[in-house]
Amino acid sequence: MQPVHQAPYPVIDTDPIFSRVVRYFRPTDYVVAAGLTALGPGFMYWMEKYQPSGNPGKPLIRAMKVAGGVGAMAGFLTAYMMVSARFWGLSENSREIKKYREEYARLKALGKSMHGTSNMPLAMQRTAASYSTGAFFNFDVAPWFNFVNHPYHGQSKGVIPEEDK
């Protein structure tokens, strides 16, 4: 499958499976996720300190927990989008390409497919791929991840050497 867009960096995979995206998190992705997680309760504390609600104690603690949960979800989705953008070639991705090539060589030596195998019919795999390809662009509407192994992945030339395909 050919890449569906022109990107400033090589396209690694236009529909990476969820576990691969999480494995490719960089330390900066974890920092962003942690920062957004802490931002919610920190903002609630700041607001209570400078604009008191008059309900200190349990209501504030409950609100801070909810804000922390929302912040954790926002942090994870933001980190996931950052990695997905690197897979799509929208931001610098040399580290991911190196890691992808190493993973490819290791799986090839074991005789396994890079994108795994699936018991689903091919038509269902194509449907799953069409739903999840590029879904990270719409995380603000509905978070949608790829949990299905399928053969429909766009890539730039040179990410995997031609003789290995």
pLDDT band at 25 (very low <50, low <70, confident <90, very high): very high
Tens of pLDDT, residue by residue over 53-76, are 777 778 888 889 999 999 999 999
pLDDT band at 22 (very low <50, low <70, confident <90, very high): very high
Q: Which two tokens stand for residue 38?
A: 């802490």
Q: How distant is the alpha carbon of residue 89 from its chain centre?
A: 13
Amino acid, res. 110: L
Q: Looking at residues 37-54, what average pLDDT do you find?
A: 87
67, containing H or E segment: helix 58-87
Q: Looking at residues 37-66, what average pLDDT do you find?
A: 86
Q: Cβ-count burial of 72 within 10 angstroms (0-12 exposed, 13-18 middle, 19+ buried)? A: middle
Q: Looking at residues 146-153, what average pLDDT do you find?
A: 79
> What per-residue confidence (pLDDT) applies to 73?
93
Q: How far apart, in whole angstroms, are the C-alpha atoms of residue 132 and residue 17?
A: 9
Q: Which two tokens stand for residue 22?
A: 């999480």
> What per-residue confidence (pLDDT) applies to 1?
46
pLDDT > 60? residue 4: no
pTM of the model: 0.83
Interior/surface letters 17-51, b for 16+ CB within 10 angstroms, e for the rest: beebbeebbeeebeebbeebbebbbeebeeebeee
For the chain, the distance separating the N- and C-terminal CA atoms, rounded to the nearest angstrom, is: 12
Q: Which two tokens stand for residue 145?
A: 């991840």
